[in-house]
Amino acid sequence: ECADKYKEMYPGRTEQEQTYFGCITQMDEQYGRLLDYLDEKGLADNTIVVFTSDNGCTSPILPWVESARGYAGPFRGSKHNIHEAGIRVPALVRWPGVTQPGSVSNEIASTLDLLPTLCSAAGVDLPDEWDFDGGLLNPAFENRPIDRPHPVYIQYELGRMLLDRGEIFTSPPLALRKNYWKLFCDTDFKNLELYNMDTDPGEKWNMADIHPDIAQDLLNDLEGIYPIINGPYSKTAETLNPNF
């Protein structure tokens, strides 16, 4: 929902555009209030602030989605798929005394990294028997490389039909990112697509046939992770401790 006063800041726009732009303005104002509160209470220097998103934009390349107003630049796809436009999002971190204002890191990061990272920063010890999918982002905050414990595993099996560069396609359900390589496949581990994200961030050139050894290496990792992620929920439930 968007308050009318924010919609009214964008006269001459369609109702959908007023809602979209108004929501952004409303969020920006509320985030500013939060930062002002930290300053007023003397908490800013002892608080880590993280601003990020859960998925990419709903892009205007989907002509049947009236509210689509996002723009993903050179990246392929949009929300509801695991191509870069669906999963690559901004992440801004303010950690006084650690992060340098205006600095940029190109390290691979995942929202799964936030739990171990923030617990480590806060001095919270987590059980040794817990095997985290995420890793510590702390080195990236100081412009150092991250030593990831696992490749970044990506899964979304409800990928919608997309229109991209005049091509109608459906996004694959599985992907794995390891260094600058990204592998896609179906849930039967077939129909491989391999992209070099350093030289081809738009995912235009499938290199699975050119580098079959790299594709197989990533596929082996993916096949090992898939049954763990998709195992019986009862096994997960048994390990949960509501009193933690």
* Backbone dihedral region for residue 131 (phi beyond 0: left; psi -120 to 50: alpha; all else: beta): beta
- Sign for the pseudo-dihedral over CA of 113, 111, 78, 152: positive
Q: Is the pTM of this model over 0.85?
A: no
CB atoms within 10 A of CB 27: 13
The CA distances from residue 144 to 99, 100, 192, 218, in Å, are 11, 13, 32, 24
Closest of 158, 148, 69, 149 to residue 108, by C-alpha: 148
Residues contacting residue 174 through CB under 8 Å, at least 6 positions apart: 82, 154, 155, 184, 185, 186, 187, 189, 222, 226
**Is the Cβ–Cβ distance between 107 and 146 less than 8 Å?**
yes
Task: Give, rounded to a whole angstrom, the gap between the first and last alpha carbons of the chain.
Answer: 34
Helix and strand totals (H; E) in the chain: 7, 8
pLDDT score, position 172 = 85
Residues contacting residue 116 through CB under 8 Å, at least 6 positions apart: 126, 132, 134, 135, 136
Q: Which residue has the higher pLDDT, 86 or 36?
A: 36
**Is the Cβ–Cβ distance between 32 and 20 less than 8 Å?**
no
pLDDT score, position 208 = 98
Q: Which residue has the higher pLDDT, 79 or 145?
A: 145
CB atoms within 10 A of CB 54: 8
Range from 88-92, 126-130, 186-190 carrying the lowest mean pLDDT: 126-130
The domain covering 48-231 belongs, at the CATH homologous superfamily level, to: Alkaline Phosphatase, subunit A (3.40.720.10)
pLDDT in tens, 124-172: 998 888 877 788 999 999 889 988 888 999 998 776 556 555 566 677 8
Over 70: is that where the pLDDT of 223 sits?
yes
Mean pLDDT over all residues of the chain? 86
**Is the Cβ–Cβ distance between 84 and 201 less than 8 Å?**
yes
pLDDT score, position 78 = 79
Rounded CA separation 22/9 (Å): 7
Alpha carbon of residue 61 to chain centroid: 20
φ, ψ of residue 184 in degrees (nearest 5):
-115, 150
Count Cα atoms within 13 angstroms, Cβ side, for 144. 8
pLDDT score, position 216 = 98
pLDDT score, position 117 = 94
**For the chain, which residues make up each domain, given as ranges?**
1-44, 48-231
